Amino acid sequence: MPSLVIDGKPVEVPDGVTVLWAARKVGVEIPTYCYYPWFPPQGNCRICLVEVEGMGKLQIACNTPVRDGMVINTNNERVFKARRGVMEFLLIHHPLDCPICDQAGECDLQDYGYKYGFPVGRYRHEKRTFPKTDYGEKIAKEMNRCIHCRRCVRLSEDYLGVAHIGHLNRGDKSEIGSYIEAAVPSGFAGNLIDVCPVGALTDKKMRFSARVWDLEHVPAHRPDCKHGCKAMLGLYRGKIYRVTARLDEHRVMKSMICDDCRFEHYNLDDWVIDENDDINTQVKPIRATEMNDA
């Protein structure tokens, strides 16, 4: 059991875990973009840089294994400056369209932008733009908002089993996309929307129809679903505006839901409300239509 100190807090963790894991255990917040617990760490967003005493360079928390006696600083001037630099680089090409972006309100880029971003942009050149190409009828792709975290690439390769999404070109011209601009041929393609930390992949059905902070989130499942999906309904004035997978406190999906649940069932009669958003237990189901009476 290596014991280490993170921001002055001593912690003992099992062997083989990462600094990020240890930090989350003691409640130290480290920002992440490309890190997703479902996949092996990729380490390319560089926002989770932390200072490990005794090592010259800043290290990424998501891939640095813990060692006994490590002393880690996640919140000093040097780390802040490095993260501010990464935020600045992410934002120089990012469009200022938060007011019309469906992700606004639950966007990692917004959250960390508040925390680490510059108050003004220093970039005075033309922004990089891409022609608009969607993934089929259901998923809207806005490449200009993409931060190249490659979560969607990894989800489609590792979980959906279709390597239809890839990285085209290189350098600052690189684009995430399907080469033939086609839909992702999977019954679970809608989960790409949930893994995207920014507004690059959004639900076409919900587009421009509601703001996420207005929605009331209700855990529900559909008895007819052959996959047994545990979904989260976004309700506004008793109407379903969107269906998503259930997310935990780090906005990580607890399980995937099928495209049938996500896109096709906007009628409350189809759903059964669950008592809590735990995906493993269901207690006392009630029909969604009875919810207001109960």
Partner 1 sequence: MALEKHVFGGIDIPGNTDIKVYEEHGGYKNWKNVLQNKMQPEEVIEVVKASGLRGRGGAGFPTGLKWSFVPKGTDKPKFLLCNADESEPGTFKDREILEKDPHQLIEGMAIAAYAFGAQTAYVYLRGEFVKGWKMVEAAIAQAREAGYLGENIFGSGFNLEMYTHRGAGAYICGEETALIESLEGKRGMPRIKPPFPAVEGFYRNPTVVNNVETLAAVPKIIENGAEWYRQWGTEKSPGTKLWSVCGHVERPGVYEVPLGYPMKKFFEEDLGGCWKGRKLKAVIPGGSSVFTMTPDEFLACDMDYESIVEHGSMLGSGGMIIMDETTCMVEMAQVIATFYHHESCGQCTPCREGTGWVHKMITDIEAGQPQPGVKDLLFDVMDEMFGTTICPLSDSIVMPIKSMMEKFPEEFDYYIREGKSMITGKTRMAHKRIDDKPNVYRRGEPFNYPKAENFTTSFDTVAHETPEHEMPDLRYFRKVNG
- Interface residue list for partner 1 (CB under 8 A): 41-47, 49, 56-58, 60, 63, 65, 75-77, 79-82, 84-86, 88-90, 92-93, 114-115, 117-120, 122-126, 128, 147-148, 166-167, 169-174
Please, what is the minimum distance in Å from the beta carbon of residue 56 to partner 1? 8
Please, what is the minimum distance in Å from the beta carbon of residue 243 to partner 1? 30
Q: Is 136 exposed, middle or buried (0-12, 13-18, 19+ CB in 10 A)?
A: middle
Q: What type of residue is 56?
A: G
Beta-sheet strands, E only, within the chain: 3-6, 9-12, 49-52, 59-60, 71-73, 139-141, 166-168, 175-177, 201-203, 216-221, 230-236, 239-245, 272-273, 286-287
Please, what is the minimum distance in Å from the beta carbon of residue 139 to partner 1? 22
Q: Could you tell me if 230 and 190 are in contact, meaning their C-beta atoms sit under 8 angstroms apart?
A: no
Q: Tell me whether residue 57 or residue 237 sits nearer to partner 1 (CB atom).
A: 57
Q: Tell me whether residue 149 or residue 212 sits nearer to partner 1 (CB atom).
A: 149
Please, what is the minimum distance in Å from the beta carbon of residue 22 to partner 1? 16
Q: Is 194 in a helix, a strand, or coil?
A: helix
Alpha carbon separation from 119 to 56, 108, 112 (Å, rounded) = 29, 17, 13
Please, what is the minimum distance in Å from the beta carbon of residue 249 to partner 1? 19
Say how many CA atoms lie within 13 Å of 278 toward its Cβ.
6
- Categorise residue 46: left if φ over 0, alpha if ψ from -120 to 50, beta otherwise: left
Q: Tell me whether residue 173 or residue 284 sits nearer to partner 1 (CB atom).
A: 173
Tokens 């002055």 belong to residue: 8
Q: Tell me whether residue 99 or residue 119 sits nearer to partner 1 (CB atom).
A: 119
H-helix segments, 93-164: 108-116, 151-155
Q: Tell me whether residue 115 or residue 287 sits nearer to partner 1 (CB atom).
A: 115
Please, what is the minimum distance in Å from the beta carbon of residue 211 to partner 1? 18
Please, what is the minimum distance in Å from the beta carbon of residue 155 to partner 1? 17
Q: Tell me whether residue 170 or residue 237 sits nearer to partner 1 (CB atom).
A: 170
What tokens appear for 113 in the block? 């932008």
Q: Tell me whether residue 126 or residue 249 sits nearer to partner 1 (CB atom).
A: 126
